[in-house]
Amino acid sequence: MEENRWFLNIIQDDFMNGKIDLDSTVKLLEKLHMPFNLAHVKHVFKKTVDKRKIHTINMEDFRAIYRAIVHRNEFHEIFCAYSQNRKFLADTELIEFLKKEQFKTEDAEITALEVILKYEPIDEVRKRRQLSFEGFIRYLNSEDCTVFRKEHRTVYQDMNHPLCDYFISSSHNTYLVSDQLIGPSDLNGYISALLKGCRCLEIDCWDGSNNDPVVYHGHTLTSKLSFSSVIHAVDKYAFAASDYPVVLSLENHCSPKQQERMAQYLLNILGDKLLTSTIGDIAVTQLPSPEALKFKILVKNKKSGTIEETMLRKGQDSHGETGEVSEEEITSSDEETDEKAPLYPKSGLSKRKSEGISSHPPRKKAKMKKIQIAIELSDLVIYTKSEKFVSFEHSMAHQKCYENNSIGEVKAQKFVKHAADQFVSHTSRFITRIYPKGTRTGSSNYNPQEFWNVGCQMVALNFQTPGIPMELQNGKFLDNGGCGYVLKPEFLRNRNSTFNPHNVGRYSKPISLSIRLISGHQLPPSNLSKSNKADPLVQIEIYGVPEDQAKRKSSVIKSNALSPRWDETFSFTVQVPELALIRFCVQDEISLVANDFLGQYTLPLLSLSKGYCTVPLLSKRGGKLEPASLFVYVWYY
């Protein structure tokens, strides 16, 4: 009775003239504060008016539309299982539900009261400390019931470990927003990456006119940005999404004179944000932590000499001086020029040559000559000195803790396959950056999971390219408050670790995971549908060490994107849950051999909530598809 009275009080003024049209229906739904997909509302409205061949509805029609969109059978079944009178949940009944189904065993009484005060829309019911079905719907649809654990939405990990102990959100050729050959360079590449919590940006620097360095993909037709404009964008957005340090990975092709100008821009634009000296002792035996480097921007580049020599030289006038680094060492941020240079298609190659664009450059002999690096720029490299990777043995014998390597995906994949344990040992000591091979001219991405499995910190991806690799990237770095730093598992930090992702052995602490896929709600309609229809199915995927890779697929629900119901359970045994990600992907079955993407959501397996949860769906580019969601029941032990 109270529910009816509450509902009528809200809507009756809108029906003063008896009937309302579609626009008024939409406004009234907004007034009731329940999210909806316009395509579904239009379809349900059309079904209602088509029966009478008019274009307006009465109050009872609106109530039926509201129920079709908002009142979900699966929610009502759970509500009735705990409500003795099937009208309201008493506080004791809500406490029982929270304890038994949502695993809120601590302070359940307080949580129940918070739920009632926050989600119960009917004043009289709230005063009695009860929850109506309207309140129950709002609670199950809320942030408090999403599949991503509430505790992981803020920084909760220990941020006082050395930098090399963290996975670091990293982008490749950040300035590009399309392909690697002729696409535009755009400051929005940097801005959007930083707003997504990216902490390592790549800047390809080349000599520009009037002694003003430019940023673009060398030897290609990509457009150019001024280096100063890039640094201004970094200055403005570096800490918009995260307080933790940003690393500027310079792929430096500039002459010493323009390197000096780069250094001046970095100093003048970034000011105190730029890290220009060590923290604490001059002698560096361990990298500082993200916490110690909060709100700092680090330069990753080749360096002449050691940090200690830089600090001793500070205060002396070194303007205009240059240091020397051998060609073998400076091959563009280690080996990147050779592997990253694009391989042009044979057709049209002669035309490009006539336009002064070179084809894939030949490998140069090591130590042919010395390359000069401006001391002004060299001195800005503190904890992130780029060092050419020679071998794991060479690094173990000679590499300093603040020296880091960039390794191309092809070489890195061979190491993962044939020397995974050595790779793990290496990344426990040194920051290692992985980047896409040069033949990925369309800005496609590799699977980052295999490199996270061996502890690589900076697994750089083309952020502009949607697809599973970027969904895994976004899912992994949802963790720890989306700050761009995720603490690696202990077995990837321990320098004596013998962990091998191909044979997890004693490092395996398996968990059993059960996911009951109950239903979908207001899923995006099929691209092929003229109404609100789709034939949805759900694929649940595990990404992790090779042994944990798994895919399960639901049945297809025909012609129902509004409220498909599955009630199917999927079970997994995950050997290394610390490295696992879980991906929910909703597809529309077009034919027996082809499906169309409708939405997805990816998150770390250990960030799963338990109990009844909604899975919010995201678009191919990671945007929210509210209110599209899945409803699941999660349990693991």
For residue 637, how many other CB atoms are within 10 A of its CB?
7
For residue 18, how many other CB atoms are within 10 A of its CB?
8
Tokens of 507: 């490092």
Catalytic residue positions, numbered: 172, 217
Of 44-58, 288-302, 304-318, the least confident: 304-318
Q: Which residues contact 574 (CB under 8 A, 6 or more apart)?
A: 510, 511, 513, 542, 544, 548, 580, 605
| Annotated domain spans of the chain | 1-70, 73-145, 163-492, 508-636
Thinking of the domain 73-145, which architecture would CATH place it in? Orthogonal Bundle (1.10)
pLDDT tens-place string over residues 78-99: 999 999 999 999 999 999 999 9
Residue 590 amino acid letter:
I
| CATH among 3.20.20.370, 2.60.40.150, 2.60.40.1120, 2.40.10.480 for 508-636 | 2.60.40.150
Contact between 136 and 72 (Cβ < 8 Å): no
pLDDT tens-place string over residues 388-439: 999 999 999 999 999 999 999 999 999 999 999 999 999 999 999 999 999 9
Q: What pLDDT sits at residue 51?
A: 80
Give the chain's length: 637
Question: Does domain 1-70 correspond to CATH entry 1.10.238.10?
Answer: yes
Q: What pLDDT sits at residue 52?
A: 78
Contact between 286 and 293 (Cβ < 8 Å): no
Asked, colleague to colleague, whether 1-70 and 73-145 share their fold, the answer is yes
| Angle separating helix axes 133-140 and 108-119, nearest 10 degrees | 100
Q: What pLDDT sits at residue 332?
A: 40
Nearest to 461 by CA among 243, 202, 238, 221: 202
Higher-confidence residue of 525 and 255: namely: 255
Tokens of 352: 């490009």
Residue 237's φ and ψ, nearest 5 degrees, are -115, 0
Residue 435's φ and ψ, nearest 5 degrees, are -135, 155
Average pLDDT over residues 444-469: 97
pLDDT bracket for residue 318 (50, 70, 90): low
- No. of H helices and E strands in the chain? 23, 23
Average pLDDT over residues 164-175: 96
pLDDT tens-place string over residues 209-243: 999 999 999 989 989 999 999 999 999 999 999 99
Tokens of 133: 């079905």
Q: What pLDDT sits at residue 130?
A: 97
Instruction: State how far the Cα of 471 lies from the Cα of 480, in Å rounded to an integer.
Output: 17
Q: Which residues contact 6 (CB under 8 A, 6 or more apart)?
A: 121, 122, 134
Nearest to 199 by CA among 377, 445, 382, 384: 384
Q: Which residues contact 452 (CB under 8 A, 6 or more apart)?
A: 167, 459, 476, 579
User: What integer best gives the mean pLDDT of the chain?
Assistant: 91
Q: Which residues contact 205 (CB under 8 A, 6 or more apart)?
A: 213, 214, 215, 227, 250, 251, 252, 253, 254, 258, 262
Portion of the chain with pLDDT greater than 70, in percent:
91
pLDDT tens-place string over residues 16-74: 888 999 999 999 999 999 899 999 999 999 999 988 778 999 999 999 999 999 999 99
How many CA atoms, within 13 angstroms, populate the side-chain half-sphere of residue 67?
12
Q: What pLDDT sits at residue 283?
A: 80
Predicted TM-score of the model (pTM): 0.91
Q: What pLDDT sits at residue 487?
A: 98
Q: Can you name the CATH fold of 163-492? A: TIM Barrel (3.20.20)
pLDDT bracket for residue 361 (50, 70, 90): very low
For 114, the 3-state DSSP assignment is: helix
Burial class (CB in 10 A: 0-12, 13-18, 19+), 255: middle
**Maximum distance among all Cα pairs of the chain, rounded to whole angstroms:** 88
